[in-house]
């Protein structure tokens, strides 16, 4: 309900203020359908690496796009693409993708690592990434069933310092061995 109201408010805001006199923002579906080339139809990626963006929380989607746009979050093409959108357009896309179903990736994982990863997860990650990382809550991304190479790239960026970790996450991650991080990602990747 709240999300829908926010969505309408944002859409109204775009109509009322506009970005420029000659520029009306495209519809949310118009903006979002352009993402399918890389992220899959309706934001559900066929992989092997590009993440699924369907079902993400609007907070997380917006924070990601704004991070790419400002350069705060590292990326390959996403910075170049995110700079093509106004804040209003990003909000429209965030509202569009939140209602689309997250389709878990079908990929091979190592059962031994998955089992180890589940233990690491239970002791460290579950407070923010609840329900095995499947919830799209607040500023947390959906990790369960996400493509493994993408999860790996993300943790590489976090541990190298290229991407800033939330303080609580950093405290936990700093104590983990590389093998434990890898196992945890295998656990997330194995979720269906």
Give the span between the Cα atoms of 10 and 94, in whole angstroms.
11
Residue 24 or 112 with smaller CB distance to other proteins:
24
Using the contact rule CB under 8 A, the part of the chain among 79-87, 118-126, 133-141, 167-175 near other proteins is 79-87
CB 46, CB 122: distance < 8 Å: no
**Sign of the CA dihedral 35, 38, 43, 49?**
negative
Question: Which residues in the 124-163 window bind other proteins by CB under 8 A?
Answer: 147, 149, 153, 156
What's the number of CA atoms in the CB half-sphere (13 Å) around residue 38?
Answer: 11
Size of the site for other proteins (CB under 8 A): 36
| Contact yes or no for 172/124 (Cβ under 8 A) | yes
Separation of alpha carbons 130 and 125, rounded Å: 8
Contact between 18 and other proteins per CB under 8 A: no
**Residue 178 lies near other proteins (rule: CB under 8 A):** no
Q: How far is the CB of 39 from other proteins (least distance, A)?
A: 6
15 binds other proteins (CB under 8 A): no
Q: Which is nearer to other proteins, 84 or 123 (CB)?
A: 84
- End-to-end Cα distance, the chain: 28
Q: Which of 4, 12, 49, 115 binds other proteins (CB under 8 A)?
A: 49
By the rule CB under 8 A, 70 interacts with other proteins: no
Nearer to other proteins, 80 or 168 (CB): 80
| Residue 26, token pair as written in the block | 């495209």
Sequence length of the chain is 192
Query: Whose Cβ is closer to other proteins: residue 115's or residue 162's?
Result: 162
Is residue 37 within the footprint of other proteins (CB under 8 A)? yes
- For tokens 């796009």, name the residue: 65
Using alpha carbons, list the distances in angstroms from residue 119 to 77, 163, 164. Answer: 35, 25, 25
Contacts of other proteins in 84-123 (CB under 8 A): 84-85, 89
Q: Which chain residues interact with other proteins by CB under 8 A? A: 22-27, 29-31, 33-41, 45-50, 76-77, 80-81, 83-85, 89, 147, 149, 153, 156
């Amino acid at each position: 309900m709240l999300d829908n109201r926010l969505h309408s408010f944002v859409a109204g805001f775009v109509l009322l203020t506009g970005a420029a006199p000659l520029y009306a923002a495209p519809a949310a579906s118009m903006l979002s359908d352009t993402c399918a080339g890389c992220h899959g139809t309706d934001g559900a990626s066929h992989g092997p690496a590009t993440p699924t963006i369907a079902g993400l929380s609007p907070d997380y989607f917006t924070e990601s796009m704004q991070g790419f746009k400002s350069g705060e979050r590292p990326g390959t093409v996403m910075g170049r693409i995110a700079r093509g959108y106004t804040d209003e357009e990003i909000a429209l896309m965030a509202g569009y993708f939140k209602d689309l179903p997250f389709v878990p990736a079908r990929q091979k994982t190592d059962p031994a690592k998955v089992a180890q990863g589940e233990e690491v997860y239970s002791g460290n990650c579950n407070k923010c990434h609840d329900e095995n990382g499947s919830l799209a809550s607040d500023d947390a991304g959906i990790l369960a069933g996400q493509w493994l190479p993408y999860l790996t790239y993300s943790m590489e960026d976090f541990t190298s310092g290229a991407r800033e970790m939330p303080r609580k996450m950093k405290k936990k991650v700093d104590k983990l061995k590389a093998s434990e991080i890898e196992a945890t990602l295998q656990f997330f990747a194995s979720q269906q």
